[in-house]
A and B are shown apart, each in its own frame.
Chain A
Amino acid sequence: MAFLELTRVSFSYPKRGRRVLTEIDLALDRDEITAIVGPNGGGKTTLTKLMIGVLQPSGGQIRLDGRPLAGYSLGEIGRRVGYVFQNPDVQLFCGTVAEEIGFGLTNRGYKPEMVEERIQFYLDYFELGVYRNVFPLHLSRGEKQRLAIAAVLANEPLFLILDEPTAGLDAYRKKLLADYLQKIARLGRGMILVSHDEPFVGRMAERVVALKDGRIQSDSGRKGNAAYEA
């Protein structure tokens, strides 16, 4: 059974007639890196927002871990699936960079020493240590992006969805991010990378799903499937 399963999912934004997604069938496992690629406006962001319950499908069904997504609260989804938004500004809300990284853990009752240890680790890894006490929205685009990723990773979710994670990152930071993501993938965490960045996708993804005009145009297939072997 797939971790995340979409069956004939369709969606249109309220008050806009046009369908953004049409009858998407997709099953994703927890142990692989899937890339979702496609032109701007193809519906990639919308599709991932449906997967985490921020938007509700107008038709079809989504199941997470075998249960209908509609039966989960946002908090329950957030603990299973870490989501990094395309625009980091919408997900940074704390007073300092360190608080931002520790937010999820602190509010889920982790011990302060343990939270501190994780904050320190992620500050170091994403080279944000000097900004420890800086107001997150004062950071540059690339720094905000790294912080948003760090804050989600610090929660250690089972599955990750990153929407255009390399936007605003330089080549060196892209490599750091790729290394880290591959490391956690080896630990058995699945992820979806939404990206235009072909070299990044080529290097990272085991499966590539192309989305165009709200439909799946091609799918290299799940591991073990014939399509994947081909």
Chain B
Amino acid sequence: MKLDPRTKMVMVVCLSGLALLYNTPGQLLLVFAVTVALLMIFHFELSVIGDYLKPFLSLMLFLLVIQCVFSPGGEVLLAAGPVPLITTGGLSMGVCVVLRIMTVAAAAMLFTTFSSRDFILGLVQWKVPYELAFMVSIALRFLPVFRDELSNVVTAVQLRGVELKKVPWREKMALYRRLFFPVVYGTMLKAQQLAVSMEARGFRVYPRRTYLRRLNLLGADIAVMLVCLVSTIMLIALHFT
């Protein structure tokens, strides 16, 4: 199935929107499952999706622990003396955060099926200001860079002789916390350099730029978009009633 980039964008927005709206593990798991199913319809193999999400795992583990510890509530599952460490409330919050990020990251995989050029073209044809379209495309470009960066760092850390798998979790958390900002900042620097080198090669969107090619929405695109939008709106309406 060859869909217009804009149709895929609508799908990503719908899925991410639902992921941000829902706040129980069950609902989020469902949205995640739908996202994965969609990706499989677009010929992504399960193993490819797994490989794509794997580098995010350490970040998720970090967030899961943070959420567990800092959003208490419900029954206490694990305590260090009088201090509750893991509660049902905290655990469910943590699982929600992780599922939400996985869903958004997985949905964004759809963006890898078309070029950033097509993406900007699609948005500009929808009268989105070109600066905004360009910025969004850079942000999307950032995601895979960030993922590759995380897996590079995990490798580099181990090659310095640190046995990541055997580090006790408390120290591992301290390590991740120490590396978190340098890695995020470093990735931003690199993504920025990437954007600069793209512009240097003449890739730029000008206000009165003319386009050789036009994207056309086909019947299938409109049908898929409608189904996505209508079902999302219905789910949102249901959520608030």
A interface with B by C-beta (< 8 Å): 52, 54, 73-79, 83, 85, 89-95, 103-104, 107-108, 135-137, 151-152, 155, 157
Contact = CB atoms under 8 A, between A and B. Distances in A.
Contacts of A108: 161-162
B223 to A, nearest CB: 33
Question: How would you classify the secondary structure of chain A's contact residues: helix, strand, loop or mixed?
Answer: helix
A95 B160 contact: no
B179 A74 contact: no
Contacts of B185: 135, 137
Interface residues of B, number: 25
A78 B158 contact: yes
A54 B155 contact: yes
A136 B189 CA distance: 12
Interface of B: 152-153, 155-167, 175, 178-179, 181-183, 185-186, 189-190
A78 B161 contact: yes
A77 B157 CA distance: 12
B217 to A, nearest CB: 32
Given A93-B182, A93-B186, A95-B182, A78 B162 contact: yes
Nearest to A75: B163
Given A95-B178, A107-B175, A75 B156 contact: no
A91 B183 contact: no
A136 B183 CA distance: 11
Contacts of B183: 93
B160 A107 contact: yes
B159 A95 contact: no
Contacts of B153: 93
Contacts of B163: 73, 75-76
A137 B189 contact: yes
Contacts of A135: 182, 185
17 contacts: A73-B158, A74-B158, A74-B159, A76-B163, A79-B161, A92-B156, A93-B156, A93-B179, A93-B186, A95-B181, A104-B161, A135-B182, A136-B182, A137-B190, A151-B160, A155-B161, A157-B161
Report which residue of B162, B185, B190 has the largest number of chain A beta carbons within 10 angstroms of its beta carbon. B162
A91 B158 CA distance: 11
Contact of B160 (A89, A136, A155): A155
A73 to B, nearest CB: 6
A104 B160 contact: yes
A137 B160 CA distance: 18
Nearest to B158: A74
A155 B161 CA distance: 8
B152 A78 contact: no
